[in-house]
Amino acid sequence: MTLPGRDVLLVGQSFQTPNRLTNRLRRWGFRCHFAGNMRTARELLSSTRVDVVLSDMHLSDGTGIALLGILAGAAVTAFLCFPVETSCFWLPAIDAGKRCLGLPALRPAEFAKVLEEMARHLGTAARG
């Protein structure tokens, strides 16, 4: 079951096929929207309100950093996925509309805990 206030946009090629992250997001009640590149993300953001944006660092038509400019002024939380060897780090980029790029990166397990807590918070806010 998805609840209001739990819309997430996943941007990049790594999110185009179902994976552990998208399965967890759905299990936690998030409604997932997908964009393979920056152009598609821009189009989707012009017509759909999202609460969370998760993006690959490298996109076919730009970068995750450039995507942050599109999100300026929006009350979203955004993270950028930076690949390393066989895993990745998640870089906090925007926290509830405020830029926070430069905060310590999160390992996948830490990031999963942050998302789960965010799902709880968003679900509580939507009901209250």
- Tens-place pLDDT, residues 58-78: 999 999 999 999 998 889 999
Residue 85 falls inside a structural domain: yes
Give residue 4's pLDDT: 55
Q: Which residues of the chain have pLDDT under 50?
A: 1-3
Give residue 3's pLDDT: 47
DSSP string covering 10-79: EESGGGSS--HHHHHHHHTTPEEEEESSHHHHHHHHHH---SEEEEESEETTEEHHHHHHHTTT---EEE
Residue 64 falls inside a structural domain: yes
Give residue 125's pLDDT: 57
Residue 94 falls inside a structural domain: yes
Give residue 6's pLDDT: 87
Domain that holds residue 73: 7-127
103: domain CATH number is 3.40.50.2300
Give residue 124's pLDDT: 61
Enter the pTM of the model. 0.90
Residue 123 falls inside a structural domain: yes
Residue 69 falls inside a structural domain: yes
| Number of domain units in the chain | 1
Residue 1 falls inside a structural domain: no
Residue 2 falls inside a structural domain: no
